[in-house]
Structure 1
Amino acid sequence: MQTIIAFVVVFGTLVFFHELGHFLFAKRSGIMVREFAIGFGPKLLGITKGDTLYTVRLLPLGGYVRMAGEDFDLVELQPGHRIGLILGRDGKAERIVLNQNDRTPDMLYLEVERADLEKELFIEGYDEEERKVRYPVSRKAVISEKGQETLIAPYDRTFEAKPLGARVLTIFAGPLFNFILAFVIFTLLGLFQGIPTNEALIKDVTDDGPAVTAGIEPGDVIESVDGKTIGSWNAFAAIIQDRPGEKLDVGVNRDGEHLKFPLTAEAVDVEGQTIGQIGVIHEPVYEKDPLKAVVYGGEQTWFWFKRIFELLGMLVTGKFSIDALSGPVGIYQATGQVAQYGIFNLMSWGAVLSINLGIMNLLPLPALDGGRLLFFGFEAVRGRPIDKRKEGMVHLVGIMLLMLLMIVVTWNDIQRFFF
């Protein structure tokens, strides 16, 4: 139960902030947001406020912000279509009823000849006495069909109608808010847990590791690797992990005496990835300072941003295989393990995941935010947007490929953790 709660809270928070970025910038640009959803699948909870339906859905594996004009949600009134209209006091159609069974005393009926629910906002046709009539349509008119109601979206409130810059910011805001969330979490860690000092202090050494064999002892402070000064434990750990099987010259400070120990990092397989280890346990030393906490938040965000990019580069160059990737099952398992070590470790894990989510979404792949930004780049070069249907097909193919990748990664997770 602890793992389930931790996973839902952590992943739900990351998804919420990602979608919140899209939502706020869409609203700021005047785009109608039809739905703000956390999760996928069947709706569990839903509330409508203003133009937007806010929902929580069954599968907590993502979320979405559905903006007017992004999908083909516009109901087109074709010639010969029989509809009902309810007019407001200003004579404009406020409700368009497509189901002829929904009859009310104040409803007008007509057979559509022409209609424009995007730009000119009118409906023209013949009433029950075969007279040709024309009614203006309210910008807030509702289309009612079989018990479901949908607000019309005037063209100026659709996503595609907005300037290129506004669309770019709306899409980029999702990953941006993930980076901001990570910064806030790391800053809060600096405020409440404290800021780890730069001392890479060794608490203990394993009995049979390369460090004890070389002569490193508990209480030593790591100063350098191969003559390069080490500023923090994270930097030291990253170097060791990236150099399995390599000879290293580790410099330490032992009670004011500067010593150097040659050793070879042991190659260890961790979830399909080969990393280096030397058999030491770190003991962080913390200090509390509000101003330094903000700096710490920025430094940690930047450190993990670069680190994740380095790992992506290793994946591209083949330094580790796709088997090392984790999907929802792997993240679920890891979240449960981290949660056992307390709230601060869980917060740090959430911050790293948030950066990872932001970077993954910025990859120039179809169906991801980065893929959409790539199409905006083509639009900027061409001077006109790519055909909407062609772009939609590319994103559809991208979604299918991403689903295939997710299946492969999930299967790897299942085999790794349950077999």
Structure 2
Amino acid sequence: MTGIIAFIIVFAVVVFIHELGHFMVAKWSGVRVREFAIGMGPKVVQLRRNGTTYTLRLLPLGGYVRMAGRGDIDAPEIQPGMTIVIVPEDNQVKRISLSSEMALIGGMAVTVDQADLVDALEIHGYLENDDTKRLTWSVDPDATMIEPNGTEVIIAPRATHLESASAWQRLLINFAGPLMNFILAVVLFFGLAFAMPSVTTTTVDQAQKNSPAYQAGIQHNDRITKLDGHQINNWQSMQTYIQTTTKNQVAVTFVRQGVVKTATVKVKKMTDQGQKYQMIGITARQSTSAADRVQYGIHTAGQAFTQIFHSIKDLIIRPDINKLGGPVSIFKTTSDVSSLGVLAVVSFMAWLSVNLGLINLFPIPALDGGKIVLNVIEILIRRPIPEKVENYVTAFGAVLLVILMIAVTWNDIARIFLR
């Protein structure tokens, strides 16, 4: 149960922050955000504030931002012959209901002949008990519409559509989601640095007796700065280098009492309970100082970005579905780290947030990165990309993502549960 709760919280927070980025920049750009949903599936509760309907949905996984425009595929259309309920006020329609389950105070039933809530902002039709006189009602640009599922959202005149924003504004809207994931990760890494009892430094606390480092002359209080000429800024990056090197020895550069020295240290291969690893036999000095905590936060965040970026680059160069993980894999990992405590879950959330941000910047249609590419093309050619072309590209990307998600999910299930 702890693993399930941790998974829901981690996944919800990371996706919520991502969507919050899109939401904030869209509002700033004048794009109407009709709904901000937390979770998926049937609506549980809704609240309207400043032109946006905030909904909490039944399945506590993810969420979405519903912007006005072509991408608002959930928006129902008012078709001729439909019977709707309108609430006129001050010679303008303020509320419209397409739901048969909700009654509106002061509402009147209208059989629609024609409706335009995008450009003309008018409804033409007949009162329910009088089909002899065709009437016209002007619609307030800020009127709301109750959809068949009961969700009440503001209408979307063309000037408020995503497509009406400039290419630069749309680019910023698309980039804002990944950016917020990066900001979340940095905040979490700094939070971890100050929440932990102490943080590791690159200064040696102890060289274990008869270990390769001890035999090479490395001592207590030596501050390691380089491995094989590569700059070392934190203990984790040093561990990663030693674990992944294919060399039998490494050149360790360190500072002792202000003097820079270099020692050649053998890499010892070990096996513990079937797990293979490499070591040189040193432990890190712990610190509780604010300066070291800040440095730890900076370097850990930098390491996360660098390591995940290189992993993605390796995936592109050498594609392998086993290098990808979907919701099943995330659930399994979250369940594993939840047994290690709250700090471990927060650390995983930070790494996952970086991962989600970078993956979303892939130049694949339907992802934020693919949309950004289209925005850049539009900026360069100085004219809008034809709607048909954009729709085809986006549809292709969506199909590709669905196929990839199915393949990754099945691979996760097979790898984790069936082997």
Task: Rate the CA distance shift 1:145–1:411 in 2: closer, same or farther, 3 A.
Answer: closer
Aligned to 2:123: 123
**CA-CA distance at 1:286 after TM superposition:** 2.1
Deviation at 1:121, TM superposition (A): 1.0
> Following TM superposition, by how much is the alpha carbon of 1:298 offset from its aligned partner in structure 2, in angstroms?
3.8
Residue aligning to 2:350:
351
The residue that corresponds to 2:374 in the other structure is 375
Deviation at 1:194, TM superposition (A): 6.2
Range with greater deviation from structure 2 (94-103 or 122-131):
94-103
In structure 2, the CA distance between the partners of 1:230 and 1:382, relative to structure 1 (3 Å rule), is: closer
Deviations 1:77-104 (A, max 9, x none): 55x5354553423111234456899999
Q: Relative to structure 1, is the Cα distance of residues 377 and 246 closer, same or farther in structure 2, using a 3 angstrom cutoff?
A: farther
Deviates more, 1:226-235 or 1:163-172: 226-235
Contact 2:201 2:287 in 1 (8 A): no
State the 1:385 CA deviation.
2.5
**DSSP 3-state at the match of 1:81:** coil
Checking the alignment, whether the CA contact within 8 Å between 1:183 and 1:297 is kept in structure 2 is yes
Distance 1:407 1:251 in 2: 48
Say which SS state the counterpart of residue 123 (structure 2) adopts. Answer: strand
Q: 1: distance between equivalents of 2:22 and 2:214?
A: 54
Contact 2:207 2:214 in 1 (8 A): no
| C-alpha deviation, 1:376, in angstroms | 1.0
Are the structure 2 counterparts of residues 286 and 413 from structure 1 closer, same or farther at C-alpha, using a change threshold of 3 Å? farther
- Alignment partner of 2:169 out of 143, 166, 169: 166
Separation (CA, whole Å) in 2 of partners of 1:180 and 1:101: 43
Distance 2:135 2:410 in 1: 61
Cα gap change, 1:217 to 1:417, in 2 (>3 Å)? farther
CA distance in 1, matches of 2:103, 2:177: 44
The verdict on how the C-alpha distance between 1:5 and 1:244 changes in structure 2, with shifts beyond 3 A counting, is farther
Verify the 8 A CA contact 1:98 1:144 in the aligned structure 2: yes
Query: Do residues 328 (structure 1) and 327 (structure 2) align?
Result: yes
Change (3 A) 1:286 1:3: farther
Contact 1:250 1:263 in 2 (8 A): no
Does the Cα contact within 8 Å between 1:83 and 1:97 map onto a contact in 2?
no
> Is the CA contact (8 Å cut-off) linking 1:34 and 1:68 kept in structure 2?
yes
1:191 maps to 194
Q: Distance in 2 between matches of 1:383 and 1:29?
A: 19
Whole-angstrom distance in 2 between the partners of 1:358 and 1:229: 26
Structure 1 pair 339–205 and aligned structure 2 pair: CA distance change class (3 A) = farther
Judged with a 3 Å threshold, the aligned counterparts in structure 2 of structure 1 residues 407 and 324 are, in CA distance, closer, same or farther, namely same
Quote the Cα distance in structure 2 between the aligned partners of 1:326 and 1:74. Answer: 32
- Alignment counterpart, residue 238 of structure 1, candidates 231, 237, 240: 240
Q: Map 1:221-300 onto structure 2 (within 5 A).
A: 221=222, 222-245=224-247, 247-251=249-253, 260-264=263-267, 277-278=278-279, 280=281, 282-283=283-284, 285-289=286-290, 293-294=293-294, 296-300=296-300
Q: Is the alpha carbon distance of 1:342 and 1:109 closer, same or farther for their aligned partners in structure 2, counting shifts above 3 Å?
A: closer
Q: TM-score, normalised by structure 1?
A: 0.81
Displacement after TM superposition at 1:202 (Å): 6.4
Asked if the contact 1:367/1:395 (under 8 Å) is kept, the reply is yes
User: Does the Cα contact within 8 Å between 2:235 and 2:284 map onto a contact in 1?
Assistant: no
CA distance in 2, matches of 1:404, 1:205: 51
The question of 1:92 aligning with 2:104 is answered no
User: Is the contact made by 2:234 and 2:296 (CA closer than 8 Å) also made in structure 1?
Assistant: no
Q: Is this contact kept in 2: 1:83–1:96, CA < 8 A?
A: no
Percentage identity across aligned positions? Answer: 35
Contact 2:100/2:148 (<8 A) preserved: no
Which structure 2 segments of 5+ residues have no match? none
TM-score by length of 2: 0.81
Cα–Cα, structure 1 residues 195 and 84, in superposed 2: closer, same or farther, change >3 Å? same
Match of 2:383 in 1: 384
Give the deviation of 1:358 after TM superposition.
0.8
Classify 1:259/1:374 alpha carbon distance in 2 versus 1 (closer, same or farther; 3 Å): closer
RMSD between aligned residues: 3.8
For structure 1, the residue ranges without an aligned partner over 5 or more in a row are: 269-274
CA offset at residue 118 of structure 1? 0.9
Deviation at 1:138, TM superposition (A): 1.6
Q: Distance in 2 between matches of 1:280 and 1:322?
A: 35
Show CA shifts across 1:304-351 (max 9, x none): 212211222222232x84323332233223223333333333322221
Q: Which string of whole-angstrom CA distances, capped at 9 and with x for unpartnered residues, describes residues 111-150 of structure 1?
A: 52x4421122123356636344332112233445656455
Change (3 A) 1:121 1:415: closer
Look up the match of 1:340. Answer: 339
> 1:181 and 1:398, CA in 2 relative to 1: closer, same or farther beyond 3 A?
same
Deviation larger for 153-162 or 134-143: 134-143
Shift, 1:175, TM fit:
0.9
Counterpart CA distance in 2 for 1:162 and 1:341 is 47
Segment of structure 1 superposing worse, 377-386 or 173-182 = 377-386
Shift of residue 410, structure 1, vs aligned partner: 3.2
- Aligned amino acid, residue 226 of structure 1: D
Deviation at 1:167, TM superposition (A): 1.9
- Match of 1:199, SS? strand
In the TM superposition, what is the alpha-carbon distance from 1:183 to its structure 2 partner? 1.4
Kept after mapping to 1: 8 A contact 2:269/2:277: yes
Alpha-carbon distance between aligned partners in 1 of 2:241 and 2:120, rounded to the nearest angstrom: 63
CA contact (8 A) 2:202 2:284 kept: no
**Structure 1 residues 240 and 138: CA distance shift in structure 2, 3 A:** same
- Is contact 1:244–1:265 with CA below 8 Å preserved after alignment? no
Tell me the amino acid that sits aligned with residue 311 of structure 2.
L
Distance 1:143 1:34 in 2: 10
> How far, CA to CA, are the matches of 1:267 and 1:386 in structure 2?
58
Partner Cα distance (1:413, 1:206) in 2:
43
